[in-house]
Structure 1
């Protein structure tokens, strides 16, 4: 059997180590890479690092709501991404499932339970809390998937509340380019301005998308 390569994205070293223990219990011989931010994860992918599974903390320093899940999914389109969080709200599990996560696990679960869930996910069996799916988040994600990588970067920067000038500086593009990207983003989302875009993104990015 080929060695499986696992990415763990969590900004707490002790949590990363705990998840690594669960991974080693579930997938003997797995090669594990740990990062503390989505930016670090994307940097590994940009350097050609390949992964078979990604475990993602829902609340990283450079994410809002489900933005980290979306960014990892776009960076690793063929890789199952599992949310592992300390948060307990059932609605989060429903939204994660709707957005195409491979699972939604809670850090409070015993090590053996986490390992069992990971074995199931590796075997192709998603693990989620039960609940009805509402539909809005999945629709927005489908539209986001149609954006180019450059426009998705602008969209995530917009969700952070950054002004056009700041987005241009951070992404090393002109303000005119940012405005052109925003026009295309608004058109695809079916909105006319920033406020409407933030409202459309709320199911994915939470209260920060305002």
Structure 2
């Protein structure tokens, strides 16, 4: 694995992923492939949205992201994903599908999900998408997810829209927990955001990052 790819995988250390798929071969195979390719990633898999809900109730702090199969027994995965998002607002939820339906990414985004990932993704491309999600970004444009590795900056210092949103909340004095609640993400994802922000900006701490972005762009806040 190239050094750049190695760095991306390292960013998934201690990131908790819950896979929800009723097909045992695909579920177990994907879990094993992810554990092999990204050893620091914490992956668990269940067969239904009901099992996912029960696990999230018991282990609320263990997961940062839930990825559900679109074709779930008894209901579509999008409805199940929306229900999980309502019950567990601190955890990001995304959709995976093997269906060729161009409306699904749009519907998933409109439903407030953080990702739509085709099941046809190679494992390296999936890890790239997960690395973006670990930074708190969304992944709906597959071309961007696979080929640009999370670029698409919109702010000073190459910061993404999500990173700018974190900085704006940071400027109000909000804690990681409050930022997580406001943005509907986990505290661990907020920390990943801040690590990426500090690295891009060369900032040593929260205050310096806020001061630097204010100086660089008067309209940033």
TM-score, with length taken from structure 2: 0.53
- Secondary structure at the residue paired with 2:25? helix
Matches within 5 A, 1:60-79: 60-64=72-76, 66-79=78-91
Task: Write the distance in 2 (CA, Å) between the matches of 1:22 and 1:73.
Answer: 26
Q: Tell whether the 8 Å contact from 1:73 to 1:81 is kept in structure 2 after alignment.
A: yes
Task: Specify which of 86, 91, 99 is matched with residue 111 of structure 2.
Answer: 99
- Cα distance per residue 1:108-155 (max 9 Å; x no partner): 12111111111111112211148xxxxxxxxxxxxxxxxxxxxxxxxx
CA positional deviation for 1:88: 2.0
Give the distance between the partners of 2:25 and 2:94, measured in 1 at CA. Answer: 18
Equivalent position of 1:157 in the other structure: none
Quote the RMSD (CA, aligned, Å): 2.2
Q: Give aligned pairs, total.
A: 130
Report the alpha carbon displacement of residue 68 of structure 1 after superposing the two structures with TM. 0.9
3-state SS in 1 of match to 2:96: strand
Following TM superposition, by how much is the alpha carbon of 1:23 offset from its aligned partner in structure 2, in angstroms? 3.7
Rounded to whole Å, the distance in 2 between the matches of 1:124 and 1:26 is: 21
CA gap 1:26/1:100 in 2 versus in 1, 3 angstroms: farther
Contact preservation (8 Å) 2:13, 2:40: no
On the 8 A contact 1:38/1:63 being kept in 2, the answer is no
How much has 1:22 moved relative to structure 2?
5.3
Q: Which has the higher contact order (CA 8 A, sep 6+)?
A: 1
Is the Cα–Cα contact under 8 Å of residues 13 and 39 in structure 2 kept in the other structure? no
Per the normalisation by structure 1, the TM-score is 0.55
The 10-residue stretch of structure 1 (13-22 or 98-107) with the greater mean CA deviation from structure 2: 13-22
Gaps of 5+ in 2: 1-11, 143-221
For the 8 Å contact 1:26–1:118, the answer to whether it is kept is no
1:178 aligned residue: none
**Matched residue SS, 1:90:** coil
- CA distance, structure 2, for counterparts of residue 23 and residue 88 of structure 1: 24
Indicate the residue corresponding to 1:28 in structure 2: 39
Is it true that 1:45 corresponds to 2:62 in the alignment? no
Give the alignment partner of residue 15 of structure 1, picking from 21, 26, 32. Answer: 26
Q: What is the correspondence of 1:128-167 to structure 2 with a 5 Å cutoff?
A: 128-129=140-141
Secondary structure at 1:101 match in 2: coil
Aligned partner of 2:134 among 117, 122, 143? 122
Secondary structure class of the residue paired with 1:66:
helix
Partner of 1:81: helix, strand, or coil? strand
**Over 3 Å off, 4+ runs:** 21-28
